[in-house]
């Protein structure tokens, strides 16, 4: 059979192999060499194909198992999975904390009864002198859910402050009294007791907290009154303790604000608190309410 002479450009890997055809009557030595090389490559390919067929026929699941292992790798020793594994289907979480799976109907979240403090949140009522100014704004900034009511007047005495409470107090309400600054060295506890007793009678079942008089700082001209302030605060504490013993339905608290205030919490006049000091007071008020 006569073969036509041609040149074929075959690519193997990254190299190019040139194969030469020949005529039956025009065969050279180099043509035999090229033919032998081509036959060797062909025999190698046939042998490799036969081995692959025999391997597959011997264990037909081997290739499938290998592919499955790549798709679904086993968890690592530390309990985490390979990042190449497909992401797991996320379940929608209901408000009750139960998982909503597609294999079962979603459960209706159970509505639990609220605690007494959550069922009805009482009011926070502030009464006092100029120290009460802006406290409501800071408390609302800390907790917008608190219902804050304030009644105050700069320069007011405890005699007046005790009359500021006009609301009907319930068990959920909490009253805070921040006054006495204008009574130091002016009115004795004996004169203030009737007004204080009247105030406590307005809270037969509620909670009432008294914030003691803040001390003066050294640059205030009334700094000398600090001893009188300490004595006034002590007398007020003793009176309130007696009232608590006489009426067990009362819930009286006392906050010594001087334990948490420093000179940096005062305004330039050395008497009133600056915004930083008022925030400290509000934080103490909210802490008392939470307990």
Cβ-based neighbour number of residue 12 at 10 Å: 8
- Which pLDDT score, from 0 to 100, does residue 38 have? 59
* β strands within 53-120, DSSP E: 92-93, 99-100
pLDDT band at 73 (very low <50, low <70, confident <90, very high): very low
Question: Do residues 147 and 41 both lie within one domain?
Answer: no
Rounded Cα gap, residues 32 and 36, in angstroms: 6
Task: Return the higher-pLDDT residue of 167 and 5.
Answer: 167
Question: Do residues 230 and 153 both lie within one domain?
Answer: yes
Question: Do residues 254 and 157 both lie within one domain?
Answer: yes
Cβ-based neighbour number of residue 48 at 10 Å: 10
Check whether 95 has a pLDDT greater than 80. no
pLDDT band at 87 (very low <50, low <70, confident <90, very high): very low
Asked if residue 219 belongs to a domain, the reply is: yes
Rounded Cα gap, residues 213 and 108, in angstroms: 54
What is the pLDDT averaged over residues 261-276?
Answer: 95
Indicate left, alpha or beta for 151 from its phi (over 0: left) and psi (-120 to 50: alpha): beta
35-to-2, 32, 44 alpha-carbon distances in Å: 15, 5, 14
Per DSSP, 177 falls in state: E
pLDDT band at 98 (very low <50, low <70, confident <90, very high): very low
pLDDT band at 50 (very low <50, low <70, confident <90, very high): confident
Task: Return the higher-pLDDT residue of 290 and 285.
Answer: 285
Residue 133 lies in domain: 121-290
Among 77-81, 98-102, 207-211, which stretch is predicted with the lowest mean pLDDT?
Answer: 98-102
Question: Is there a contact between 175 and 209 (Cβ–Cβ < 8 Å)?
Answer: yes
Question: Do residues 174 and 269 both lie within one domain?
Answer: yes
Check whether 58 has a pLDDT greater than 80. no
Asked if residue 99 belongs to a domain, the reply is: no
Question: Do residues 174 and 39 both lie within one domain?
Answer: no
CA-atom Rg of the chain in angstroms: 46
pLDDT band at 130 (very low <50, low <70, confident <90, very high): very high
Check whether 197 has a pLDDT greater than 50. yes
Q: Give 17-28 pLDDT, tens digit per residue.
A: 333 344 444 444
Asked if residue 208 belongs to a domain, the reply is: yes
pLDDT band at 156 (very low <50, low <70, confident <90, very high): very high
Among 112-116, 124-128, 246-250, which stretch is predicted with the lowest mean pLDDT?
Answer: 112-116
Rounded Cα gap, residues 117 and 115, in angstroms: 5
Average pLDDT across the chain, whole number: 74
- Which pLDDT score, from 0 to 100, does residue 68 have? 44
Among 49-53, 181-185, 235-239, 241-245, which stretch is predicted with the lowest mean pLDDT?
Answer: 49-53
pLDDT band at 262 (very low <50, low <70, confident <90, very high): very high
- Which pLDDT score, from 0 to 100, does residue 205 have? 81
- Assign 194 to helix, strand or coil: helix
Asked if residue 79 belongs to a domain, the reply is: no
- Which pLDDT score, from 0 to 100, does residue 26 have? 46
Question: Do residues 27 and 127 both lie within one domain?
Answer: no
Among 62-76, 94-108, 147-161, which stretch is predicted with the lowest mean pLDDT?
Answer: 94-108
Q: How many CA atoms lie within 13 A of 182 on its CB side?
A: 16
How many domains does one find in the chain? 2
């Amino acid at each position: 059979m006569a073969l036509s002479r041609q040149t074929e450009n075959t690519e193997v890997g990254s190299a190019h192999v040139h194969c030469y055809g020949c005529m039956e009557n025009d065969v050279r030595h180099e043509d035999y060499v090229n033919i032998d090389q081509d036959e060797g490559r062909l025999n190698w390919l046939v042998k490799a194909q036969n081995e692959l067929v025999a391997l597959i026929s011997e264990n037909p699941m081997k290739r499938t198992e290998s592919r499955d292992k790549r798709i679904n790798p086993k968890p690592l020793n530390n309990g985490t999975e390979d990042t190449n594994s497909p992401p797991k289907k996320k379940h929608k979480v209901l408000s009750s904390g139960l998982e909503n799976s597609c294999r079962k109907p979603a459960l209706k979240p159970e509505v639990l009864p609220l605690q007494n403090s959550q069922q009805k949140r009482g009011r926070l009522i502030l009464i006092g002198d100029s120290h009460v100014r802006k406290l409501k704004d800071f408390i609302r900034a800390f907790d917008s859910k608190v219902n804050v009511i304030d009644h105050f007047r700069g320069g007011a005495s405890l005699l007046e402050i005790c009359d500021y409470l006009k609301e009907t107090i319930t068990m959920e309400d909490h009253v805070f009294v921040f006054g006495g600054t204008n009574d130091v060295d002016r009115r004795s506890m004996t004169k203030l007791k009737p007004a204080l007793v009247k105030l406590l009678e307005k809270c037969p079942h509620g909670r009432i907290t008294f914030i003691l008089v803040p001390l003066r700082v050294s640059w205030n001209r009334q700094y000398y009154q600090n001893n009188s302030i300490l004595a006034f605060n002590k007398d007020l504490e003793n009176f309130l303790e007696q009232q608590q013993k006489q009426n067990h339905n009362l819930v009286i608290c006392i906050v010594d604000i001087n334990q948490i205030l420093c000179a940096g919490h005062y305004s330039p006049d050395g008497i009133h608190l600056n915004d930083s000091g008022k925030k400290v007071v509000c934080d103490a008020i909210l802490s008392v309410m939470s307990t």
